[in-house]
Amino acid sequence: MNVDEKYFKIISKRERAIFEGAITMGALFHQFIGTPVSLKTVDGIEKAIKEAMQLQPCINEVKIMINREMLEHLKSEYQYVSLSGDMLDIKVFSEYEGNLAVIRMKFIEELQYPLMYVEEVK
């Protein structure tokens, strides 16, 4: 019995794609929130987050955008802010045996909350 049969036998392939994307999104959020960020470092932080999360099982692609407008008020090279959920727009593309799930996190104004949700399943 392989790992998939042993530990994931009670969920469908579609559910597995959703699970892998969602668990990756949660890990991303809780690992990187609070990271110091400035206009000088934002590109590198986006790249590091993307590359780290693409190491997770079933993750094909991660698209991340940190809102640079929220960094433009920093006056000197020594100033930075802590990365927060309202600064992020992220898509995690997770695929398992032909089932693709797109998990999204973005700040929803009406909720005043960085919402994680399943955007699409194919």
Report whether pLDDT(1) > 70.
Answer: no
Q: What is the pLDDT of residue 76?
A: 81
pTM of the model: 0.90
Report whether pLDDT(23) > 80.
Answer: yes
Report whether pLDDT(2) > 90.
Answer: no
Task: Tell me the mean pLDDT in the region 19-32.
Answer: 95
Report whether pLDDT(3) > 80.
Answer: no
Report whether pLDDT(74) > 90.
Answer: no
Q: How far is 84 from 94, CA to CA, in rounded Å?
A: 24
CATH number, span 12-121? 3.30.1300.20
Positive or negative, the CA dihedral 54, 30, 69, 103 is positive
Encoding tokens for residue 2? 């392989």
